[in-house]
Amino acid sequence: MMVSMLGSVVVYGYLAAHAFAATVPIGHSGNLTVAFFSNEQGDSCDINATTHRLALTTRTIPNSYTCFNVADIFSQSNTTGFTNATQHVYNTEEPNGIFWRLESEGNYDSQTNYSRVWYEQYAPGNIQVGENASWVVYFYAFPDCQQLDPAKADADPDLNPWFEDSCQTEPGGQCRTTPYSVKSFAINSAEDYNKGHGGCETWAYQGSSGASSFGQPSRTISFILGGLAIFTTTW
């Protein structure tokens, strides 16, 4: 009891310390912002539009992979909060996860095709577009950051590739299109990722024909991640 109360105090203390100044316009703070738009808006991502926009900003660099379901995060009403990392790691600073700020104005719509993705990440004072960023971001076609269709045993990964980015963007961000409505996304520190990849990756296509950076069939990775998720929830 004592311990869990103390835990809450620590979490809320962190939350207060990480609170964003309300005056910083979204996407212009030098932190990571990801935003989703309807495919009906053409090939653009109007980050300044306040209608039909779902946006999450963070300054936290987590110590492990942290997954978000688009439907869950953007349909709740808090505008700031904390999401625990999906992967539990030992001997890490707690809480480990992402403090976020949302600008979605209750716009989430389950019928919308969120195939327009916008993200911005750069190092203020040392902007090097295309070089190592602080975060790696993953975008998926399925909930819970699953790489393959959980309903199909023989799913073709190329039908629903996932995308990864760990390079700095221009200030002003980068707009992309996915061939599906994004159902989930994940954020992690880019440090190990960039080391493992010999540098950062820009919008890396990951399917069976794009899995070179893993050197493994993607299903294996899915299985490992799935296993870890189960492990952490039962722990």
Chain residues that interact with ligand NAG, rule: CB under 6 A: 7, 25, 28-31, 39, 48, 59, 76-78, 81-82, 84, 113, 115, 131-132, 134, 177, 179-181, 194-195, 199
Identify whether the C-beta of residue 26 lies closer than 8 Å to the C-beta of residue 33.
yes
CB of 78 to ligand NAG, least distance (A): 4
Residue 11 or 221 having the CB closest to ligand NAG:
11
DSSP for 39-66?
GGGTT---TT--SS-EEEEE----SS-E
The secondary structure element, H or E, covering residue 75 is helix 70-75
- Residues 6 or more apart from 213 whose CB is under 8 A from it? 197, 201, 204, 206
- Measured over the CA atoms of residue 216, residue 98, residue 202 and residue 125, the dihedral's sign is negative
**Closest CB 216 distance from ligand NAG, rounded Å:** 20
Q: Is the peptide bond before 25 cis (omega within 30 degrees of 0)?
A: no
CB closer to ligand NAG, 28 vs 219: 28
Least Å from the CB of residue 115 to ligand NAG: 4
Phi then psi for 21, rounded to 5 degrees?
Answer: -70, 130
Q: Residue 50 or 209: which CB sits closer to ligand NAG?
A: 50
Q: Which is nearer to ligand NAG, 81 or 150 (CB)?
A: 81
Report the nearest approach of ligand NAG to the CB of residue 194 (Å): 4
Cβ distance to ligand NAG smaller for residue 176 or 219: 176
**Count of beta carbons in the 10 Å neighbourhood of residue 129:** 13
- Answer for the pair 210, 161: CB distance below 8 angstroms, yes or no: yes
Give least dist CB 218 to ligand NAG, A: 20
Cβ closest to ligand NAG, residue 82 vs residue 205:
82
Q: Cβ 222 to ligand NAG, closest distance in Å?
A: 22
